[in-house]
Homo-oligomer: A and B are copies of this chain.
Amino acid sequence: MAPYYLNSWYCAGWSKDLTDKPSGITICGKTLAIYRDPAGSVVALDGRCPHRFAPLAKGVVVGDRLQCPYHGLLFDRTGACVHNPHGDGMIPPNARVESYPVQERAGALWVWPGDPEKADVDLLPSTDWLVSDAYATATGYLLVNADYQLVTDNLLDLTHAPYLHPGTVGGRPEDSIGQVMEHSFETTDGNVIHSNYRVRNMPRPTPQLLPLWGERPGDFYAEMRWQPASSMELDIFMTEPGEDKKAGVHVPTLHYLTPTGDGATHYFFAIGRNVMIDDDEQTRLMAHFARIAFEEEDEPMIRACQDLMGTSDLMSLRPAILRTDVAGVQARRVLGKLMKAETAVA
């Protein structure tokens, strides 16, 4: 079985961060150079020059073409070498690199590392709130030094929040979301996993929601959607007890995981809110809470688990499975099935 599920969109960054300066990223073991051409459209090429394997991501965009930083060969958006500045200028037939399907959608960049014929824009995760005027937003990036499926496990089992994040996105076990949580779980469209938590009349909000909601009770919702291979959206709501959740505070978040190919994971995250949207200090604070939670709490824990596992294949170690692992276990099952099918075809 292939080590990665290739026929899937993987997040390659946030739109606003990509310019005509090429950006290098490794996705499922493939090294890419991504840049924005003068017309604004995005190009994703294999990042290794076919001449001496220099990193094209260190090159410069000349017109709408990418110039290798070592000896100056020029490549167009299809990956063909179109200019050799030396000697008689002859271009050998193998002077070309792969070009990858790439999409830009509502603030995020997506690359399809698998068969280009199968690239399907209907599978792109939707991130509309990220570009909506009704939300204040912040985006971030973190390199997690662990397998992406361990990060998926982390996100699909929010029971860790009161233990790992008591001061940020969780709250102490003894109050807030450490209280009785109701959990519902379903799979839709065959492959999309929903894992929804609710705490009715929670005495006080999580530290992250405190400045938005105030020190008073409310109904708390945390609704997670996962879709293969590793894209997650978590909607957090806090409302007056019994009220419709749409009427309350909405804090949507994105968690896009992209395996590097050497055991680490690109973690692109975004967070928004539908209240106090012009308050820049709140936006700064919101980004700060997310950074602390992911970078100083989740990442070291996930990395420590992987170090102690000594493998990235969790199931081979016969872990103790709790009821609360249902979403994570189901995601592994769905992804395993898809990977098996992909390998069988190939």
A interface list, Cβ under 8 A from B: 31, 47-48, 50-55, 58, 67-72, 81, 84-88, 90, 92, 94-95, 150, 153, 157, 159-160, 162-164, 173, 178, 183, 301, 304-305, 308-309, 314, 317-324
Contacts and interface: CB of A to CB of B under 8 A. Distances in A.
A86 B163 contact: no
A176 to B, nearest CB: 14
A304 B84 contact: no
B53 A317 contact: yes
Nearest to A157: B71
A335 to B, nearest CB: 17
A179 to B, nearest CB: 11
How many protomers of this protein does the assembly include? 3
B301 A163 contact: no
A85 B84 CA distance: 66
Contact of A164 (B47, B70, B92, B319): B70
A197 to B, nearest CB: 11
B153 A55 contact: no
Contact of A301 (B70, B88, B153, B173): B70
Contacts of A55: 304-305, 308
A58 B308 CA distance: 13
